[in-house]
Structure 1
Amino acid sequence: MLSLLTIFLGILLLILMITVEDEPGAIPLLLIIIGTVWYFINKSKIKKQSV
C-alpha cells in the first residue's frame, strides 16, 4: 500500500513540477521508480509466501 502511495505522490509532484518549471525534476521521477520497484518486490514476496 505504501508503494502505491509513493507512486501517486511521485506522479503528483511530477505534474506539479512540469506545470510550474516546465521540466520534470529528479525527485518525482525517483519516487515513481522507487515506488514501482518496491511494489513489484512486495508482490513477489507475497506470491512466494502463498505458494
Structure 2
Amino acid sequence: MAEREVRVKLVADVTDYEPAMKRAAKHARKLRKALRDLETIQISIRVVRDRG
C-alpha cells in the first residue's frame, strides 16, 4: 500500500463552536461527578453491519 500526503484547507463557520464546547465541558463535568458515585459500570456494545 502506497502512502501519499494530502493537504486540505477546511473553512468552517465556528460561531457556534465555543458555546457548544462550553456546554459539552459542563456536561462532561457533571458526568465525571456522577461516575465517581457509581460502584460498578456495565458497558454493552453491539455492532450491526448493513450489507444492503
TM class by shorter-chain length?
0.3 to 0.5
User: Which structure is larger by alpha-carbon Rg, 1 or 2?
Assistant: 2
TM (normalized to structure 1)?
A: 0.45
More helix by share: 1
When normalised by structure 2's length, the TM-score is 0.44
